[in-house]
Structure formats: C-alpha cells, structure tokens
Amino acid sequence: MKKAFKYILLKHFLTVLGSFTILLFCFLTNKVNSTSIKNNEKNFPIERPLNLFNLEESADTIFNLVQKVGGKPVANIQKTRLKKNENLSSLLKRINFEPNHIIKIINSIKKLNKGPKILSSLPIGMIINYSNPSSLTGGALKLNYTKTRDIFVWQDVKNEYNSQVFLRPTRTEETLITGVINNNLYISALKSGIPENTLLEMISLLGFSIDFQREIRSGDSFEVLFTKKIDTLSNFIIETKPIKYVSMNLSGNKLNFFSYKDKFGLPQYYDENGKSSKRTIMKTPINGARLSSRYGNRKHPILGYTKMHRGLDFAAPSGTPVFAAGDGIIEKAGWYGSYGKYIKIRHTGTYKTAYAHLSGFHKNVRIGKRVLQGKIIGYVGTTGRSTGPHLHYEVIKNNIQVNPLKIKLPAGKNVSKENLVDYKNHIKSILNQKIALEKSNQNNVIAINNHNMSNKLIFN
Ligand SMILES: [Zn+2]
C-alpha cells in the first residue's frame, strides 16, 4: 500500500517534470527560431514564401490561368481598362457581357474574402483581360487588381462563374549599375537603366556635395547599388529599395556614400569615414532648374539701375516644387512686398533661408511649424516684382544675406564613435557585394556576346 502510494507520487512527479521539460524545450526552440529569423532579416532578404496568405501563383495570360484552374476554354482574349466613373458592372456591360452573366460574375467576386471591398476599390485605369462567353467558349476576366495581386474570374464546365485571387510571383535582385556621363547626368543615368525613383534618390543624396550644373563633365562616371523587386511574369520592376551605395567619379575625384541605419532605423548616407552626406542647408532647393541670376551686382531687369542681387535666381516653370533647404521652423509665409509670396525658414542659430515670387504654398506650411529638409514648401511663380517664373533664393547668416554658392555649410550628423567599427564592417560587406555583382555583370556581358556570336553563326 505504502509502496503503491510512493509509486503514484513518483509517477505524478515525473509527469510534472516531463511537462515542464517539454515546456522549457518549446520555449527554448521558439527562442532559437525567433533569433535566427531576426538574424536572417538583418543579413539576407528572405524570399517571400509563395503560399503566403494561401494564395496560388498567378499566370501571365488568361489562357494559362484557365488551364491552371481547369475552366471552360477561352478564345479571342481582349483587353480594356476601368474608366473613371465606371464600376465592374458598367464595364462588363460596355464590353458586351449579358446581364445574367454580369450578376453571376459580381456575385462570385462578392463571395471572395473582403469581396465587397474589392469591388468598391478597383483602381481606375486597371487593366482587364477578358474573354466573352459563347456556346463554345467560357467567359473569363483577369483583373490586374494591385501590383502583386490578380483577380481571376472564370466559367467552369458547368457554366458557373468562379473567382479567385492570385499572387503575382516576384523576385528580388541586387543590382549594380555603372555608367559614364555624356554631358547630362540625368539622361545618361536613365539610359544606363537606373529606375527613375532610384535616380531621384541618387540626385537628392549627392546634391549636398555636388553642384550638378558646374561640376559634372563628360566622361565622369557613376555607380549605384540597390535592391529591386521584379514581377517575374511581366519582368517589370515593381519596387526599388533605398540605395545601398552610390559613387561618383568627377574628373578623377571619387565620392562614395553608403547607406547605414540611424537610431530610428532610417537609412542615412555617409562617406567611407562615416561623415554624413547631408549638409545643414542645400545650395539648390529645387530640381532641374537653371541658375538664371547669381549673387552680386546686376542691372535690375525692371527698375533699370544697377542693384545688388542678394540671392540666387533659378528659372523654372510655374508650379515647379520648391524644397525646404534644411530642417527648420517656418518664420514667415505670406505676401512680402516686392518679394511676392514668400517663405522664410529659421534653421540653426545662425542660418535662415528665404524663397520668393512663389505661386503658392504647400498646404502643410504654417508659421511656427517645423519642416524637414527636402520637403516641398511651395511652388515657383512670378508674384511680386518679377519678370517671369523663377525662384529667388536667399541664404541669410546672422540676419545678413550671403552668397549661397560661397558658404561653407556645416555637415549633418556623422556616424557615432561607438558605431564606427560596425559601420566599417557594414561598408566592407557592401563593397564585397559590389565586387560579386561586378563579376556577375561581366559574366552576363560575356554571355550576351557569346549569344550574339552564335546568332551570327546561325544566320551566316
Ligand atoms: Zn532674385
């Protein structure tokens, strides 16, 4: 009896110990898993699993989608776009679907997860491929609903309509683009295959160090490294990530910048020594404008006599956005005599900047409000005493206008001392990636050349 009691007690003890061990084990493995995922996120971008949200992969054509789902065969596939003031019903009517088919199609989409929301949020201009139903062929629609999702509607062999959301397959690619400038950076860079938003990023980050109007010569070269996400079906770039590395070679003078996350997790750019790419004030707070009048004495175009011009004039079409030249607080925003519509920003203790002859202010601009560098504050105009649309830009140091092109601007925040070792390692890994990409780019060129040669052989 006593023995039996002891046995039960032991058994209980073992059960408790067992469950505790299992719990501990679960806890530990869980912890190990989650840290390893975190590390992965940090070091390698994880490919999105294809079964995310349990969506199947889309296909490039309606025909292939019908094959995939085993629907009624389609023929004579056509293409249209959703027009303004149109919904799916009116669109279907326009492309000659019968009313009873339209009702069935709409009902089948309504049955999807968040179906009614999908129907009310179809984007204007969305491409729709379709096949009209007939006695022999099935009705089918492929809606390019978002960049990553297609909605497919098809008729099965029993003539019932079915709907399903498909995920467009994507892949991410590290990309290194190099190029030589033929008198214009913008055109040369676009020709070299840099996506436009990456180019704008590149220009705004280099804009602090390079005067694009005077410092660029033909033969100067550039390199840029970034990650892009590509739609595997269409081969279109659907997203680009912030630039990782950019380099400009200006008449042998090399400038390199690397992205590195600041304490808020935002990418900032620094040179190889950890010096910030940012200056506290931009020399040119506008994109693509021509410097039409410099700082100094000049004959005034309206008043006729010689007058000191205490700023820079940038000729640009009315409506061209004007940026805040630096972080600061709006001190003035309103009409200011011959300056017309005028904004003044107070930056650090010593610097202010002013923007005149504007056609209007950005809706967020209010006196006393904080603005960030590079944000739009207003638009070029010709208000006040002005002969044509231009931005009159002043840099004011200790309440006196100075020549914006001559001032030595203090830099933004550099990489902190405690992060410097980590930063240098980070640069090393980016440069290694660059070298690997250079090799694979070269291999691609060789492959293309070989391909061309073999083509020639065949055709000759
Ligand atoms: Zn001016």
pLDDT digits (tens, 9 = 90+) for 77-100: 999 999 999 999 999 999 999 999
- Number of other residues whose CB lies within 10 A of the CB of residue 349: 6
Most confidently modeled of 36-45, 240-249, 441-450?
240-249
pLDDT confidence of residue 222: 94
For residue 204, what pLDDT is reported?
79
pLDDT given at position 447? 67
From the list 366, 378, 375, the residue with the least C-alpha distance to 330 is: 366
CA of 341 to the centre of ligand 1 (A): 13
Please tell me the distance between residue 390's alpha carbon and the centre of ligand 1 in angstroms.
Answer: 8
Using one digit for the tens of pLDDT, what is the confidence trace for 228-263? 999 998 889 999 999 999 999 988 889 999 999 988
Spacing, Cα 369 to ligand 1 middle (Å): 25
pLDDT in tens, 50-59: 444 578 888 8
Element (H, E) at 401: strand 400-402
Strand partners, 159: none
CA of residue 393 to ligand 1 center, whole Å: 7
Q: Quick one: 290-402 is in which CATH superfamily?
A: Glucose Permease (Domain IIA) (2.70.70.10)
**What CA dihedral angle connects 286, 379, 408 and 350, to 10 degrees?**
-160
Provide the whole-model pTM.
0.60
Ranges in the chain annotated CATH 2.70.70.10: 290-402
Q: Count CB atoms within 10 A of the CB of residue 20.
A: 10
Cα–ligand 1 centroid distance for 310 (angstroms): 7
Average pLDDT, integer, range 448-459: 47
Please report how many Cα atoms fall inside a 13 Å half-sphere around the Cα of residue 139, on the Cβ side.
Answer: 24
Q: How confident is the model at residue 456 (pLDDT cuts 50, 70, 90)?
A: very low
Q: How much distance in Å is there from the Cα of 434 to the middle of ligand 1?
A: 44
Cα(319) to ligand 1 centroid in Å equals 17
Residue scoring higher pLDDT (433 or 213): 433
Give CA–CA dist 230/361, Å, rounded. 37
Q: What is the mean pLDDT of residues 66-79?
A: 91
Q: How many other CB atoms are found less than 10 A from the CB of residue 415?
A: 21
Question: Would residue 368 be called left, alpha or beta, if left means φ above 0 and alpha means ψ between -120 and 50 degrees?
Answer: left
**Strand boundaries in 347-386, DSSP class E:** 351-358, 360-361, 370-371, 376-379
CA of 309 to the centre of ligand 1 (A): 6
Q: What is the largest CA-CA distance in the chain?
A: 120
What is the average pLDDT across 417-422?
A: 95
Beta bridge partners of 307: 298
Most confident of 15-29, 106-120, 287-301, 365-379: 106-120
Average pLDDT estimate for 388-413: 87
**Contact at 8 Å (CB) between 139 and 147?**
no
Q: Does residue 141 carry a pLDDT above 70?
A: yes
Cβ(275)–Cβ(411) under 8 Å?
yes
CA–CA separation, 88 and 363 (whole Å): 35
Report residue 43's pLDDT band, with 50, 70 and 90 as the boundaries: very low
Cα 347 to averaged position of ligand 1 atoms, centre (Å): 21
Lowest mean pLDDT among 89-103, 283-297, 427-441: 283-297
What is 53-167's CATH number?
Answer: 3.10.450.350
Residue 389 is encoded by which pair of tokens? 């649309």
Distance from residue 116's CA to the centre of ligand 1 (Å): 55
Q: How far apart are CA 79 and CA 141, in angstroms?
A: 10
d(CA 244, CA 427): 10
Report whether pLDDT(407) > 90.
no
Taking the centre of ligand 1 as the mean of its atom positions, its distance from the CA of residue 205, in whole angstroms, is: 26
> Can you give the pLDDT at residue 186?
84
387 CA to centre of ligand 1 in angstroms: 10
In this structure, the strands spanning 56-57 and 161-167 are parallel
Banded pLDDT at 303 (limits 50, 70, 90) = low
Give the number of other Cβ atoms within 10 Å of residue 391's Cβ.
25
For residues 228 and 212, give the distance between their C-alpha atoms in angstroms, rounded to a whole number: 26
pLDDT at 383: 97
The Cα 184–Cα 220 span in angstroms is 10
Looking at residues 172-191, what average pLDDT do you find? 89
Ligand 1 centroid – CA 312 distance (Å) = 6
pLDDT for residue 441 is more than 90? no
In the prediction, which pLDDT does 349 show? 66
What is the Å distance from ligand 1's center to 391 Cα? 7
- Measure Cα distances from 456 to 81, 442, 452 in Å: 41, 21, 6
Q: Give, for 101, the enclosing helix (H) or strand (E).
A: helix 99-110
Mean pLDDT of the chain: 84
Q: Which residues of 352-385 are buried (b: 16+ CB within 10 A; e: fewer)?
A: bbbbbbbbebbeebeeeeebebbeebbbbbbbbb
326 C-alpha to center of ligand 1: Å? 20
Residues of the chain with CATH 3.10.450.350: 53-167, 174-270
The Cα–Cα gap between 345 and 339 comes to 15
In this prediction, residue 234 carries a pLDDT of 87
pLDDT recorded at residue 330: 94
Q: What residues contact 356, with CB distance under 8 A and at least 6 apart?
A: 311, 336, 339, 340, 341, 342, 384, 391, 392, 393, 394
Write down the pLDDT at residue 448.
Answer: 61
Cβ pair 84, 121 in contact under 8 A = no
Q: Nearest CA to 190 among 224, 165, 150?
A: 224
- Token readout for 215 is 């410092």
Structure tokens at 103: 């009702």
Q: What's the gap in Å between 356 CA and the centre of ligand 1?
A: 8
Give 324 Cα–ligand 1 centroid separation in angstroms. Answer: 17
Cα 397 to middle of ligand 1, angstroms: 17
pLDDT value, residue 262: 82
Q: What is the helix (H) or strand (E) element at residue 296, kind and residue range?
A: strand 296-299
**Would you identify the CATH topology of the domain 174-270?**
Nuclear Transport Factor 2; Chain: A, (3.10.450)
Q: What is the model's pLDDT at position 32?
A: 37
